[in-house]
């Protein structure tokens, strides 16, 4: 959202002919890209400022690009407008010229006419005089002519004046509408401001006179949006104008808004609209809405797919903003009907459709604002499942608002967990938790927020907690320099304006907790074979040696492969590994400043000129090094690598001679031309995890499975949702993969230079 | 890489990515860079004017999706017209590359 705000100021001032969604669409698209890039960078650095610089260096100037997109989109309209302006100017000049000419003609004409009239009068006067003389000479009674009358007077012109009548005014506005969407929307609001019966009468009367499709759409929209505040009693009647409009585009808008009233999607069943309308004819609008809600809930409970599909709407404003609808929903039992529908969220392999349905159900729950008992029963289990739930954010949002302040301590503890023990990209989780907590308007949260910022001091907390958590409670705007120390200083200077107990609260010291956690990672940096470039961390060595020796996972992190991944890798060891495992995290050596950007883990097949050893040699050296001090179970030595760490894992596991019995590869490419022949992998096991949404195409892991299976290895591919990165039940997926490897792996080929230790499962 | 060589090929790269499946801007940028092993040193943002132009030309169409992070994401999908354009561009590129290699005496590289 920070990126999004930047674009609004980068664009030129809004124009009347600008499409309604243009700037929002541009900002959303570019902000999404930058946010993805930011998440990528933050995997390899804790320095948020450096990450941002890297993102912008790769992206280019986002303001310039946003302006260019806007201009490209508006080019046609701007040119059209310029042509229109030029045409209008020419027309205006021509009109003025014609008017001047006409005036002069009229003036001359008047003079001419006046002259004619004068002559005529003179002539008539003479004629009358003559006739009088003649008649006077005539004998009376015979063809006696009337006495000449005086020339008739021309009555003065009567000028009509029009009264300033709202009916006339609104009608005129409607008739004059062009494709200016703002004017049309304003005209719709003008009708809304009139007494309801008058407003709907004017609209019906003038609907056919509204020439432009976009204007009719905007008027429908104005009435539809009345659901957010004072629901217009004829909103359904206005939608009927849209539904019976000749333009399918107007109908489409009306259908969209009708979902909030009819709880049906008539786009899928247009004829159903007439049936619905007949069913509810002559009923008051509120009654229609409640009856429609009731029908929908019944269909939802019966498992009707069209009813469930409607659940996946982003928002049902009538439920959200109309108290009578929320009350009706409670009375009808919608919360109870939704309760089983959110259960699939707990399933680790929920499908995308199931997840979308759960999100919709959660949105409806949030709109209805159920009581604490319901929320504890239905929502807290989802939230408590942790940040790996695909609907965690949506579930959290249902807890927004002071009425849910009972959840304060639970969510605060969760925020601590997310910040101090990060399991994955925590950006969205921190933002949402901070925002929901801030909605409780509890100033005693301020010291806790500040403590978390101070303990972390990355972009996630300085911005995420600073803006979403602290700003609503303090009024202090976001600034990237407002780190933990700044906020501590601020608290000391400003705490007095807050009531007790907040005022007396000290800022907790979480620094000790972080250090303790680092110790708890139970790892130390070693150098394999004494080679200072072959650095690795060893986890789990404190545990007692299992009967047949330790099983071993050698981890090659993605990104830049640096030691920064130690926290996440430590979590893998604690949460994902079965008992009896050691974990070795390799730290990618940096051979020269250019190398990490190009090849993080150079191999025999993808060399780097200044490298002193290949990653295959590094892995084998680490295994040998560990074997010097720990008895290893040779049947269960695996390498695990993700993203940039994937290819070297393939390369090592496909060597002719290796101590690896299997490999676990996640979100990675597969380049067989860089590896030893696949036949070497015969008898070994490969577990491959990949998301179809990943920018790395599915054909890579699919080819890997195909190639390795054909060569006699055991290989399987599992997918997950979410794209490149760790998403969903991360540690569950890792554990599952290791268990598969244990069962699928067969005895490795005996390496020539090593002796196998006896081992069992 | 000499940027003049890249001129005119961005559309083809984008359409090629889309021909393998719907995608969004960031993913397209990463795919191009991953598959070219970063040879094309494109600024990621430079893709967007091209994407929007392709959309206006009718070679792809776009739709919005809500992500799990609460953002809107714009996906692009190649159209039949775009597929035909890609085929033409591939043929043109192939002829061009072959002609240049012929002049440079590098035809054996294509074997």
Contact A33 B26 (CB under 8 A): yes
Could you count the other beta carbons within 10 Å of the beta carbon of residue A572?
24
Please list the alpha-helical segments (H only) found in A457-583. 459-462, 464-465, 471-474, 484-494, 511-520, 566-575
How far apart are the CA of B49 and the nearest CA of chain A, in angstroms? 6
- Residue A641, beta-bridge partner list: A556, A665
C-alpha A4/C-alpha A13 separation (Å) is: 17
| Interface residue B2 vs chain A (CB under 8 A) | no
Residues from chain B that touch A363, judged by Cβ atoms under 8 A, are: none
A299: left (phi over 0), alpha (psi -120 to 50) or beta: alpha
Which residue matches tokens 């690896």? A660
Residues A570, A592: Cα–Cα separation, whole Å: 28
- Cα distances (angstroms) measured from residue B17 to each of A21, A699, B45, B81: 27, 13, 16, 15
Residue B70 has pLDDT above 80, yes or no: no
Residue matched to tokens 């104005």: A222
Terminal CA-CA length for chain A = 51
Tell me whether strands A632-642 and A550-556 are parallel, antiparallel or unpaired.
parallel
Angle at CA of residue B53, ends B48 and B54, nearest 5°: 100
Q: How far apart are CA A643 and CA A660, in angstroms?
A: 19
Query: Rounded distance, CA A394 to CA A414, Å?
Result: 15
pTM, full prediction: 0.44
pLDDT digit string, tens, across residues A162-182? 456 888 888 888 988 988 888
Can you tell me the mean pLDDT for A290-319?
87
DSSP-assigned letters across all residues of A382-445: HHHT-TTSTTHHHHHHTT-SGGGGGGHHHHHHHHHHHHHS--S--HHHHHHHHHHHHTT--GGG
The answer for residues whose C-beta is within 8 angstroms of residue A184's C-beta and 6 or more apart is: A177, A210, A212, A214, A215, A216, A217, A218, A219
Q: What is the pLDDT of residues A331-370, one digit of tens each?
A: 999 999 998 888 765 555 667 777 888 888 998 898 888 8
Closest to A274 in 3D by CA, of A301, A289, A255, A249: A255
Q: Quick count: other Cβ atoms within 10 Å of Cβ B16?
A: 18
Contact between chains at B27 and A695 (C-beta distance less than 8 A): yes
Chain B partners within 8 Å of A696 (Cβ): 30-31, 34
Indicate the helix (H) or strand (E) that contains A127: helix A62-137
Q: For residue A31, give the chain B residue with the closest CA.
A: B71
Are the CB atoms for A601 and A649 separated by under 8 Å?
A: no
Q: Average the pLDDT over A299-307 and give the result.
A: 89
CA–CA distance from B19 to each of A9, A577, A636, A727, B77 (Å)? 35, 40, 41, 26, 8
Q: Which of A303, A216, A209, A220 is nearest to A261 (CA)?
A: A220
User: DSSP letter string over A568-610?
Assistant: HHHHHHHHTPPTTEEEEEE-----STTHHHH-SS--SSS--TT
8 A C-beta contact, residue A4 and residue A27: yes
- Give the integer Cα–Cα distance in Å for A620 and A685: 17
Cα–Cα dist A52/A34, whole Å: 9
Over 80: is that where the pLDDT of A148 sits? Answer: no
- For residue A705, CA distances in Å to A93, A173, A554, A681, A699 come to 76, 67, 21, 12, 10
CB A345 within 8 A of CB A390: yes
What is the reported pLDDT for A109? Answer: 63
Single out the residue of A353, A404, A352 nearest to residue A383, CA to CA.
Answer: A404
Would an 8 Å CB–CB cutoff place B9 in contact with chain A?
no
Q: So what's the pLDDT on residue A30?
A: 93
- In this predicted structure, what is the pLDDT of residue A311? 85
- B73: contact with A, CB 8 A cutoff: yes
Question: pLDDT tens-digit profile of A364-405?
Answer: 898 888 889 999 988 988 887 766 677 888 899 899 999 999
Encode pLDDT of A675-727 as tens digits.
Answer: 999 999 999 999 999 998 887 888 999 999 999 999 999 999 999 887 878 87
Number of CB pairs < 8 Å for A and B? 90
Contact A365, A319 (CB under 8 A): no
Res A321: pLDDT? 85
Count of other CB atoms within 10 angstroms of residue A39: 20
Give phi and psi for A484, each to the nearest 5: -60, -45
- Shortest alpha-carbon distance between residue B100 and chain A (Å): 27
pLDDT digits (tens, 9 = 90+) for A512-562: 434 333 433 445 789 999 998 999 999 987 777 888 899 999 999 988 788
DSSP code for A345: G
Three-state secondary structure call for residue A729: coil
Closest by CA to A316, choosing from A356, A274, A366, A355, is A366
Q: Determine the straight-line distance between the first and last CA of chain B, rounded to whole angstroms.
A: 23
Residues of B in contact with A669 (CB under 8 A): 34
Angle at A407 between CA A350 and CA A355, to 5 degrees: 15
| DSSP track, B33-97 | HHHTTT-S---GGGHHHHHHHHHHHTSEEEEEEE-TTS-EEEEEEE-HHHHHHHHHHHHHHHHHH
Distance of alpha carbon A760 from alpha carbon A742, whole angstroms: 11
Torsion angle, alpha carbons of A321, A322, A323, A329, to 10: -100
Taking CA atoms, what residue in B is nearest to A721? Answer: B68
> B10 touching A, CB under 8 A?
no
Contacts of A35 (CB under 8 A, 6+ apart): A3, A427, B69, B71
What is the band of A297 on the pLDDT scale with cuts at 50, 70, 90?
A: very high
For residue range A126-135, list pLDDT tens digits in order.
554 444 444 4
Work out whether strand A535-539 and strand A581-586 pair parallel, antiparallel, or are unpaired: antiparallel
Q: What is the pLDDT of residue A119?
A: 58
Mutate to test the interface with B, among A10, A24, A59 (most CBs of B within 10 A): A59
pLDDT of residue A350: 64
In the prediction, which pLDDT does A108 show? 64
Phi, psi at A602, each rounded to 5°: -65, 145
Mean pLDDT score of chain A, rounded to an integer? 83
- Beta pairing class for A550-556 and A581-586: parallel
Distance CA A449, CA A415 (A): 9
Show which residues on chain A lie within 8 Å of chain B, measured between beta carbons. 25, 28-33, 35-37, 58-62, 65, 68-69, 72-73, 314, 390, 393, 427-428, 432, 598, 669, 695-697, 699, 722-724, 727
User: Mean pLDDT across the stretch A595-621?
Assistant: 91
- Positive/negative CA dihedral, A300, A303, A307, A310: positive
Asked whether the beta carbons of A744 and A636 are under 8 A apart, the reply is: no
Contact A81, A28 (CB under 8 A): no
Answer whether A7's CB lies under 8 Å from A22's CB: no
For CA atoms B79, B82, B88, B93, the dihedral sign is negative
pLDDT digits (tens, 9 = 90+) for A63-88: 889 988 998 888 877 776 777 777 77
A748 pLDDT above the threshold of 80: no
Q: Indicate the residue of A36, A60, A696 with minimum beta-carbon distance to B46.
A: A60
The whole-number average pLDDT for the span A209-215 is 92
| Record: contact A695-B28, CB cut-off 8 A | yes
CA distances from A681 to A342, A666, A697, A748 (A): 44, 18, 23, 9
Burial code of A718-754, b = ≥16 C-beta within 10 A, e = fewer?
eebbbbbbbbbbbbebbbbbbebbbebbeebeebeeb
String of b and e for A229-261 (b: at least 16 CB within 10 Å)? Answer: eebbebbbebbbbbbebeeeebbebbbbbbbbb
pLDDT band per the 50, 70, 90 thresholds, residue A758: very low
Residue with tokens 């499946």: B21
pLDDT at A432: 87
């Amino acid at each position: 959202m920070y990126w999004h705000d930047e674009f609004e100021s980068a664009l030129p001032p809004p124009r009347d002919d600008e499409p309604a969604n243009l700037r929002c669409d541009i900002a959303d698209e570019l902000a999404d890209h930058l946010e993805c890039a930011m998440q990528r960078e933050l995997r390899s650095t804790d320095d948020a400022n450096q990450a941002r610089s890297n993102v912008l260096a790769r992206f280019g100037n986002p303001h310039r690009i946003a302006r260019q997109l806007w201009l490209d989109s508006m080019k046609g309209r701007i040119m059209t407008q310029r042509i229109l302006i030029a045409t209008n100017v020419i027309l205006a000049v021509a009109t003025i010229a014609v008017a001047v000419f006409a005036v002069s003609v009229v003036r001359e004409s008047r003079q001419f006419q006046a002259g004619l009239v004068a002559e005529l009068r003179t002539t008539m006067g003479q004629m009358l005089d003559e006739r009088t003389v003649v008649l006077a000479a005539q004998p009376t009674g015979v063809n006696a002519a009337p006495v000449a009358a005086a020339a008739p007077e021309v009555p003065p012109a009567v000028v009509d004046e029009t009264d300033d009548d709202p009916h006339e005014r609104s009608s005129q506005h409607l008739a004059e509408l062009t494709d200016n969407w703002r004017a049309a929307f304003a005209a719709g609001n003008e009708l809304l401001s009139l007494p309801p019966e008058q407003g709907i009468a004017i609209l019906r009367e003038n609907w056919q006179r509204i020439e432009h499709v976009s204007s009719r759409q905007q008027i429908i929209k104005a009435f539809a949006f009345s659901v957010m505040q004072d629901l217009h009693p004829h909103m359904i009647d206005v939608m009927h104008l849209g539904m019976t409009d000749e333009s399918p585009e107007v109908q489409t808008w009306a259908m969209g808004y009708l979902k909030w009233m009819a709880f049906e999607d008539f786009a899928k069943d247009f004829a159903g609209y007439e049936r619905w309308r007949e069913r509810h004819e002559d009923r008051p609008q509120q009654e229609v809405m409640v009856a429609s809600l009731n029908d929908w809930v019944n269909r939802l409970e019966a498992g009707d797919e069209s009813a469930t599909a409607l659940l996946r709407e982003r928002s049902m404003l009538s439920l959200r903003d109309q108290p009578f609808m929320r009350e009706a929903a409670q009375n009808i039992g919608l919360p109870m009907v939704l309760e089983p529908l959110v259960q699939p969220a707990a399933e680790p392999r929920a499908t995308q459709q199931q997840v979308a349905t759960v999100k919709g159900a959660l949105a409806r729950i949030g709109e209805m604002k159920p009581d604490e008992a319901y929320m504890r029963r239905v929502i807290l289990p989802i939230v408590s499942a942790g940040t790996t739930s695909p609907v965690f954010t949506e579930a959290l949002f249902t807890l927004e608002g002071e009425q849910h302040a009972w959840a304060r301590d639970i969510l605060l503890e969760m925020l601590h967990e997310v910040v101090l023990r990060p399991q994955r990209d925590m950006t969205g989780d921190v933002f949402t938790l901070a925002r929901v907590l801030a909605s409780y308007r509890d100033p005693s949260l301020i010291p806790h927020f500040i403590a978390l910022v101070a303990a972390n001091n990355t972009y996630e907390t300085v911005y995420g907690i600073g803006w979403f958590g602290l700003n609503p409670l303090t009024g202090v705007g976001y600034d990237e320099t407002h780190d933990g120390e700044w906020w501590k200083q601020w608290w000391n200077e400003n705490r007095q304006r807050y009531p007790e107990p907040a005022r007396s609260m000290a800022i907790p010291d979480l620094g000790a907790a972080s250090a303790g956690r680092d110790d708890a990672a139970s790892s130390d940096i070693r150098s394999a074979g004494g080679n200072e470039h072959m650095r690795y961390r060893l986890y789990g060595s404190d545990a007692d040696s299992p009967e047949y020796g330790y099983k071993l996972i050698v981890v090659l992190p993605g990104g830049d492969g640096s030691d920064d991944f130690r926290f996440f890798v430590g979590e893998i060891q604690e949460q994902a590994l079965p008992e009896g495992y050691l974990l070795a995290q390799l730290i990618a050596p940096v051979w020269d400043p250019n190398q990490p950007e190009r090849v993080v883990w150079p191999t025999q097949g993808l060399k780097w000129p200044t490298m002193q050893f290949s990653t295959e040699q590094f892995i084998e050296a680490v295994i040998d090094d560990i074997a010097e001090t720990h008895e290893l179970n040779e049947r269960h030595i695996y390498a695990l690598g993700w993203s940039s760490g994937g290819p070297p894992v393939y390369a090592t596991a496909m060597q002719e001679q290796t101590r690896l019995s299997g490999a676990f590869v996640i979100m990675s490419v597969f380049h067989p031309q860089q590896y030893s022949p696949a036949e070497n992998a015969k008898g070994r096991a490969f577990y491959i995890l990949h998301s179809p949404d990943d920018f790395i195409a599915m054909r890579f892991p699919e080819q890997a499975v195909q190639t390795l299976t054909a060569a006699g290895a055991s290989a399987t591919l599992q997918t997950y949702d979410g794209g490149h990165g760790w998403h969903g039940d991360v540690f569950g997926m890792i554990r599952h993969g290791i268990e598969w490897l244990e069962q699928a792996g067969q005895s490795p080929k005996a390496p020539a230079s090593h002796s196998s230790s006896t081992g069992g499962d | 890489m000499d940027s003049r060589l890249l001129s005119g090929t961005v559309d083809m790269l984008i359409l090629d990515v889309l021909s393998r499946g719907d995608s969004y801007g960031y993913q397209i940028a990463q795919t191009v860079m991953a598959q070219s092993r970063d040879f094309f040193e494109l600024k990621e943002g430079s893709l967007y004017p091209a994407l929007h132009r392709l959309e206006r030309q009718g070679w792809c169409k776009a739709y919005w999706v809500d992500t799990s992070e609460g953002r809107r994401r714009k996906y692009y999908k190649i159209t039949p017209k775009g597929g035909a354009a890609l085929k033409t561009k591939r043929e043109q590129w192939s002829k061009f590359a072959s002609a240049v290699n012929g002049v440079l005496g590098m035809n054996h590289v294509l074997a």
